Each structure stands twice: as C-alpha cells, then as structure tokens.
Amino acid sequence: MSGARTHAFILALLGIDVTVYLSRGHGSQALDAAAWFILITAFSLAAFAPAFAQRWRHALALVRGAAGLAVLWAALHFVAESEWLDTVNAWLWIGVVVALEIELRVDRSRKLLRVCTLLLYAALLLVALLWLAAGDWFDAYDALLWICAFAVVERGLGQAAQPIHNAGDSSQ
C-alpha cells in the first residue's frame, strides 16, 4: 500500500475517532480532536499533494494557525481540568507540530531537529503506554493511531522534499 493510501486509511480511522470524541468527550477533548484532525489534514496535503499545498500555502498556513490556536486552547483547558496525561500528551504534540512547521521551512536533514522529533515521539509512545496501563484502551489506541499518522506524514514530507515557505516569503 502506498504512503498516500496508507495515510488515507489512517485519516479515515482518525475521522472515526474524532466522531467518538465529539459525541462522548467533554468540550476540550472534542475541540482538541477536531483541531488535530484539521492539522493532520493540512500537513497531509503538504506531504502527499505538494503542488496543491504550494499553490494554497497561504490559506493552508492560516488553517494550520487557526487549528493550532484551538489545540493550544484545549491544552490549556487540560491543565485547568487537571487532566495530566491529556496535558502532557497535548504539549508533546504541540512540540511535534512546531518541529513539523520548522521542517516545512528548512532543510529536513538537520540532525538536531530529527533527534528532537524522535524524542517527542518516544515520549508520546510512553503516554500511550500509560493510558494502556491505566486501562484506557481507547485513548491508548487513539494515541498510537496519531503517532502512525504523523509518522506517515513525516515520511511523505521527506519524499516530497518541497518546503512550503512562509506566507511572507517574497521569493516565490
């Protein structure tokens, strides 16, 4: 199965997860799930439809920015609600998105960035295992699915090797 097909399948599973969180989760969980789905879709376009993403880079940057603000709001709410595992998970994912945004704009071969990204994913895997140990199998499954989704996107970005420049970049 190609990377794009694999990712489309993973996106479909994530869509189901988002529906579950929208129907059973409290406000911050529902907002968090929906915002992350929008973010992964925007990053997927950069990875698997680079020509489209380049053409619509300004609009996609705005979409990623709006979704990022929603993710930040949800992360702050997890802190206020004392949902500590959700809090740690949210902030680790924010770190992954920051790394992805940097990767979209600079040479992907930067070793320090790759090491930081791998450490973030390792920490996210630990969070998934903690959910599993706590008996919260759906959150553990969801966390593993998101890790797979972002890993496929990162692989696709590496293959596309076509950075999406800042909205203010006048070199285009």
- Tens of pLDDT, residues 112-171: 888 888 999 999 999 999 999 999 999 899 999 999 888 887 777 666 554 444 444 444
pLDDT, position 152: 81
Higher pLDDT, 110 or 132: 132
Average pLDDT for residues 29-40, to the nearest whole number? 88
Per-residue model confidence (pLDDT) at position 24:
84
pLDDT at residue 107 is higher than 70:
no
User: In angstroms, how far is CA 29 from the centroid of its own chain?
Assistant: 15
Looking at residue 158, what is its pLDDT?
A: 65
Look up residue 141 and give its two tokens.
């499954």
Per-residue burial over 61-79, b if 16 or more Cβ lie within 10 Å, else e, is bebbeebbebbeebbebbe
Average pLDDT value for the chain: 82
CA dist 11 and 145 (Å) reads: 9
| Token pair listed for 78 | 């997890």
Element (H, E) at 58: helix 57-80
Domain range list for the chain: 3-160
Q: Is the pLDDT of residue 91 over 90?
A: yes
Task: Assess whether pLDDT exceeds 60 at residue 1.
Answer: no
